[in-house]
Amino acid sequence: MATQKDLRRLRIKLSIRAKVSGTAEKPRLSVFRSNTAIYAQLIDDVKGQTLAAASSKELGLKSGNVESAKQVGAKIAEKALTAGISTVVFDRNGYLYHGRVKAVAEGAREGGLKF
């Protein structure tokens, strides 16, 4: 059964997704965090397709801390620039823009993505 915290995040997530949508030229950068890892995806919502993805597990990082999140952001920026994508729309997926989610955004900005 979903907890109160999960229901709150879901409500916020649906509110964000109603306003944010990605295209092939300007995809949505979606962030998911678990207790052990952090994941980032570039999504084209028109086609329903993932254009690029990066995770702390893919990079071989043991923990999902802020430093790992920043490296994931840099990696997704590198993959995006290789695919010819320079601007994205950030989707925090219902999480607060703080800590690991903020670190992914900062890493992506430092890697060259604009949003």
Order the strands of the 49-55 sheet from edge to edge. 49-55, 38-44, 28-33, 89-91
The yes-or-no verdict on residue 1 having pLDDT over 90 is: no
For the entire predicted model, the pTM comes to 0.89
User: b/e for 50-66, b at 16 or more Cβ within 10 A?
Assistant: ebbbbbbbeeebeebeb
* pLDDT averaged over every residue in the chain: 93
Span 4-40, pLDDT tens digits = 999 999 999 999 999 999 888 899 999 999 999 999 9
Span 47-89, pLDDT tens digits = 999 999 999 999 998 887 999 999 999 999 999 999 999 999 9
The yes-or-no verdict on residue 44 having pLDDT over 80 is: yes
User: Could you give all domains of the chain from N- to C-terminal order, each with its CATH number?
Assistant: 4-111 (3.30.420.100)
Q: How many CB atoms lie within 10 A of CB 3?
A: 8
How many whole angstroms separate alpha carbon 67 and alpha carbon 59? 12
